[in-house]
Amino acid sequence: MNIKEALSHLRDFQHVVVGTVDIYKPRIRPMTLVYLDKRFWLITDTKSAKVRQIQNNPNIEFCLLFTEDGLDCCLRFSGVVGIIKDNKSRVKIANHCDFFNKHWENADDPNFTLLEVYPKEIQYVKPNKITRMKFSL
């Protein structure tokens, strides 16, 4: 098992559970992860609590649950997240997401925040072998 195999479970869009830190408490929520050009993106409303939390503490984790060979598995990513102001990236992600216009008018919408996750570690959990593999990036 290697990092390429672990990343093969990612699609353009997938639901993940994202964790941030709110002062001293962890906060989790479901979000859609965009995996494009081997980069990890999240889009959210500028006024959301997670944006404030990320501004105060950029540490983040997200978990992708999936089934492999009839068994429940997961990929757990740990790293940091940045708020992306670059218009080219904002337009690219906005155009890539078919659901974007349900929430925002365009990539210049001040209520749209683009986040890029920079993973430092991936944990690949396959319970059939009680195997936990960590990959550092």
- List the CATH number of the domain containing 57: 2.30.110.10
pLDDT at 77: 95
pLDDT value, residue 65: 95
**Amino acid at the residue 62:** F
Q: What is the span of the domain harbouring residue 124?
A: 3-136
Comparing CA positions, the residue from 55, 24, 60 lying closest to residue 41 is 60
**Domains in the chain, number:** 1
Q: One digit per residue, pLDDT tens: the chain, 137 residues?
A: 678 888 999 999 999 999 999 998 999 999 999 999 999 999 999 999 999 999 999 999 999 999 988 888 999 999 999 999 999 999 999 999 999 999 999 999 999 999 999 999 998 887 766 566 677 76
pTM: 0.92
Degrees, nearest 5: CA angle 86-92-136: 75
Q: Show the tokens assigned to 125.
A: 């959990």
